[in-house]
Amino acid sequence: MSTFEGIGQTLLAADHQTNYFDLGQGKPLFLLHGSGPGVSGWTNWKGVMPDLAEQFRVIVPDIAGFGFTEFKEQNKYDIKLWVRHLIGIMDALGIEKASFVGNSFGGALSLGLATFDPSRVERLVLLGTPAGEFEQTPGLRSAWEYEPSLENMEHAMRLFPHDQTIITAEMVESRYKASARPGAQDALRKLLPKPNAEGPTIVKGFPEHVVAKIDAPTLVLHGREDQVVPPSCGQLLARAIPNADLHLFGRCGHWVQTERRTEFLQLVRHFCR
**Are 121 and 216 spatial neighbours (Cβ–Cβ below 8 Å)?**
yes
Residue 2: predicted pLDDT: 43
Residue 1: predicted pLDDT: 36
Give residues with Cβ within 8 angstroms of 131, minimum separation 6.
Answer: 108, 111, 205, 206, 207, 208, 211, 233, 234, 236, 237, 240
Residue 5: predicted pLDDT: 86
pTM of the predicted model as reported, rounded to 2 decimal places: 0.97
Walk along the chain (273 residues) and give the pLDDT tens digit of each residue: 344 789 999 999 999 999 999 999 999 999 999 999 999 999 999 999 999 999 999 999 999 999 999 999 999 999 999 999 999 999 999 999 999 999 999 999 999 999 999 999 999 999 999 999 999 999 999 999 999 999 999 999 999 999 999 999 999 999 999 999 999 999 999 999 999 999 999 999 999 999 999 999 999 999 999 999 999 999 999 999 999 999 999 999 999 999 999 999 999 999 999
**Are 7 and 50 spatial neighbours (Cβ–Cβ below 8 Å)?**
no
Domain boundaries, the chain: 9-272
As a whole number of angstroms, the distance between CA 74 and CA 80 comes to 16
CATH class, 9-272 region: alpha beta
- Is 15 tagged catalytic? no
Q: Which one of 104, 110, 142, 174 is the catalytic residue?
A: 104
Where does residue 268 rank: exposed (0-12), middle (13-18), buried (19+ CB within 10 A)?
buried
Residue 87: predicted pLDDT: 98
- Is 110 tagged catalytic? no
Residue 214: predicted pLDDT: 98
